[in-house]
Structure 1
Amino acid sequence: MRLVLAWLLLAMTPAALASAEGNYRLGSGDRIQIQVYGEEDLSIDGIRVGESGTISYPYLGTVRLAGRTVKEVENQILQGLKGDYLVNPSVSVSVIEYRPFFINGEVRRPGSYPFQPGLTVRQAIAIAGGLTERASSRGLRLVRADNGGERSLKVEMAFEVLPGDSIFIEDSFF
């Protein structure tokens, strides 16, 4: 498993990671880093987004992050600090740990695993030790959070997995 995870990390170029992070919407369980240049009291390393989708941030109080991109959060914090507190703040936000994805059913090691940008169903299966003898390579389902609810999708091996997704591998009949 470590070899597969190492390969996934190496396969992601810095440009691909930046692109994936740019479109990525934060959610409960993500760990982020907030840096405010020249302001150590306002820089936070490794704060986890709570179940409510918020964090507690100095001077601003409760800040809602769930459903927002990293750039939107940077702008939100910048606007909150600008003016009364700082004249021209420089804010940088990055994801340091994504929430996990889950894989169940006919895989050798079902469970939750750390997410990496660019992950596909095929790679998720490899991380979980591969398919069992009883697995159906066509019976692949993915459940994804969607606007406060969930939707279930029939997927192929090349389908992109997102943080928080649950993959279910059905068993074959024969």
Structure 2
Amino acid sequence: MKKVVIILLALLAPVLSLAQTSQLNQYKLGSGDLVKINVYGQEDLTLESRLTDIGVINYPYLGEIKLIGMTVGELENYIYAGLKGDYLVEPSVSVSILEYRPFFINGEVEKPGGYAFQPGLTIDKAAALAGGYTERASKTKIFIDREVNGRLVKITADRSQAVLPGDIINIEQSFF
């Protein structure tokens, strides 16, 4: 029985990883993210910026661009379309997130607070970053406050739940 569980977990690990990768591909930029825009062969069009609350950057030739709410792919396409023709024949644009905005963990962990997001983060890993669970931590009463389509939603989570940048994790107290 134990071998079957281990095999199933081994088979599910790539699926869970793909699910988080898919979530990160659809990840919408927000305040606190550090982004880098690079146009191959065009040093003057390379820009690195941490997004503020308003999330607007001033990009050469294109002016102000509001990045908050855009995915990396949408931003690449926007810059490509803006530069193609008038400024460059076939621009090669790449956008990368150098640093994600932090996630926050509250409640029954040793060191509640904000921590740097890392791809592949789960509730258990986030709790480990926060010094581990306290003795009174519930392993089943775990909630995530997450922004979805501009609205804050509360998600009931388990310890293997993927964490995203900007998430607020709440670990409740156990009564036993």
CA distance in 2, matches of 1:61, 1:139: 47
The partner residue of 1:90 within 92, 97, 101 is 92
Tell me which residue corresponds to 1:173.
175
1:152 positional shift: 0.8
Query: What percent of counterpart residues are identical?
Result: 55
Separation in 2, partners of 1:29, 1:137: 30
Aligned residues: 160
Shift of 1:36: 0.9
Between 1:161-170 and 1:86-95, the stretch displaced more is 86-95
Whichever of the two has the greater Rg, that structure is 2
* Greater RCO (Cα-Cα under 8 Å, separation 6 or more): 1
Aligned partner of 1:71 in structure 2 is: 73
Distance 2:80 2:128 in 1: 41
Matches within 5 A, 1:20-169: 21-44=24-47, 46-169=48-171
Paired residue type of 2:131: G
Counterpart-to-counterpart distance in 2, 1:43 and 1:21: 23
Query: TM-score normalized by structure 2?
Result: 0.83
Mapped to 2, the partners of 1:121 and 1:159 lie a distance apart of 6
* C-alpha displacement of 1:155: 0.6
Determine the C-alpha separation between the residues in 2 that align with 1:132 and 1:169: 10
Residues in 1 aligned to 2:128 and 2:35: alpha-carbon distance in whole angstroms: 27
Matched-pair contact (CA < 8 Å) for 1:21–1:95: no
Q: TM-score, normalised by structure 1?
A: 0.84
